[in-house]
Structure 1
Amino acid sequence: MSDLITVEIPLGERSYNVVIGPEALMTVSPLVAEMMQRGRAIIVTDEIVAQHHLAGVKTLLTAQGLTVETITMPPGETSKSFAGLEGVVSRLLDLNVDRNETIIALGGGVIGDLAGFAAAVTKRGVNFIQIPTTLLSQVDSSVGGKTGINTGHGKNFVGAFHQPRMVVADLGLLTTLPDRELLSGYAEIVKAALIDDARLFDSLEKIGVQVFDSRALSQAIAAAVAFKARIVAEDEQERGRRALLNLGHTFGHAFEAEAPKDVIRHGEAVAAGMALAFEYSVQLGVCPAEDAARVIAHLDDIGLPSEAGKLAHTQWDARRLVARMRDDKKNQDGRITLILARGIGNAYIETNVDEEDLVAFLETKLK
């Protein structure tokens, strides 16, 4: 366990560990097996992840004396739907899953959200373990208990808070990821630093692209997860401070909703959104211009889009983007809520956004 880093998510009786590092799954597989009450593991995954990783995971689990059942879904956001949820739940019921059993979500954010929500609602709640296979899901979506599916009204509009029993962030599962997916996940590490950890941002600036070396990446993931753990412990159900974790996401979700399907990645949209949040904060007079410049420079250095014009889709309309922002789940009393910043490591929640001012700001940034 010496090469692994363990971060606790402190939630009383529902506390759990996030185990991070190379070969993490092999090391903790005996602990995983202890959670399988009927001597079987039910794995929910998708076709692409199954092709790369399912055989290896099954080998580790069968070596612990478990039988393995799999539920394999089509890849992509289309599975994160009512139809996809019904498919997973029906299969779990076909397998006569017990309420004291623990299922395994093996995949990226889509599978983690879908399997976690299926676990939350099947027989009024079964346990689950997250084994995230993307950097984005290792840093963000696998931790904190948010589960859900998409609807025609937007992403994650139907869901539940349902904490996993364990998260295994095995860096070995990232070796099959394209560079673009790694960068997308890195955006969430930067996000944690920009919200409340200026020292982490300083270190990320200095290390640059070398952050993707194994040891440095483990430490960066652990720092971001530890930050999220503190926020989740304070505000598990996002009624206050946890909304800070959405830095860049209000802009980012609008970009994702307006772009053609699968043209831009979530982390790319969030990166451009974080740059906009800092620039808008500068315009409002609450953030030093040099801090926004540092954010933009780091995103450029690492290879993430620092503005809307650097996303794979570039045809944006300011009013349509703001209209998308009106649907954001953080909004209160019909007004757009934005996560803005007084500087690097000092984000805050702004609930009194002037929509016309926001439109005018975006019009200058989308040219």
Structure 2
Amino acid sequence: MARLNKPLRASEIAELIDGSFIGVDVEVKGISPLVDAEEGDVSFLWDRSSLKDLDRSKASVLVVPESFPSIEGRSVIRVRDAKRALAWLLRKLFKREHPFKEGVSELACVEEGVLLERGVRIAPFSYIGRGSKVGSNTVIYPFVFVGDEVEIGEDCVIYPMVSIREGVKIGNRVIIHSGAVIGSDGYGFIPSEEGAEKIPQVGIVVIEDDVEIGANVTIDRATIGETRIGKGTKIDNLVQVAHNVVVGKDVLIAALCGIAGSSRIGDRVMMGGQVGVKDHVSIGERSVIAGKSGVTKDIPPGSFVSGFPAIDHREDLRIGAFIRRLPELFERVSELERRIKGEDAEDHIKER
């Protein structure tokens, strides 16, 4: 649960999220999931499946979509989009404060030729390499490594233990969570009788504006040219993006996905968890790739695919339904075989 710094009335909450308030104007002290809510909490419901938990919730105020049925005995705020309303409220009421002051810590190492714009915060035990640039109001947490000739834009937040290798270019308002590695060498080797010969990786990584990169994500530098993550893209934890991949704008990539080299992901694609993408394939814009799918060939724009290899989702469901019936079909075929063998035996006896 999230406790408010100071209590608000239900009507004030409604005003903050542009909602329509009905009921008793109670005092709200916190925001909680429905099943964990206590008296004085507000909870958000965005689909009707949540209604089954309503009787065991103590939430004083409910925020629901306009399409929801009437709810008796509770103060209710109706909004167009409950999930977006929650995001608005959290953004307005809970601003994350960075725990160290503006400027460069005496325990940080900033090399020669680094340009730091106004309002930058460099925490202890961070390293900024030669010739790098850090934009205004950007915050770099402890134990961050920034290599030579790196460009980091304005209003970025780089959390602890992030490595940003040489030559990487990062736009404005980018958030990179702990353990991410940006610009490591791509996986490029030539097999030979003498062993695997490494291909030098001399390209860069470009991260455009408003990208968020989860914990322990790895984004490899290009062999030559660039690996690029488009504006507004959000990448969950533990994702691997290989060399020379181009990810479009506003793409959503869930945890544990792996995108092989030189693939192209179109704008507004959504990828579920544990998706694997083969090298040198293209996924068309606004496509949806269901979790655990394996993309082995180009996907047209606007597709919804699943399975391995990934095919049209409806076809994959149909095939899955047939597969689940295989034990039953096997038993039926076996029974038919037994009957046929029995009839053959009876015919043989009659002939004798």
TM-score of the superposition, structure 1-length normalised?
0.23
Q: Which has the larger radius of gyration?
A: 2
Structure in which a larger fraction of residues adopt helix = 1
Larger RCO (CA within 8 A; separation ≥ 6): 1
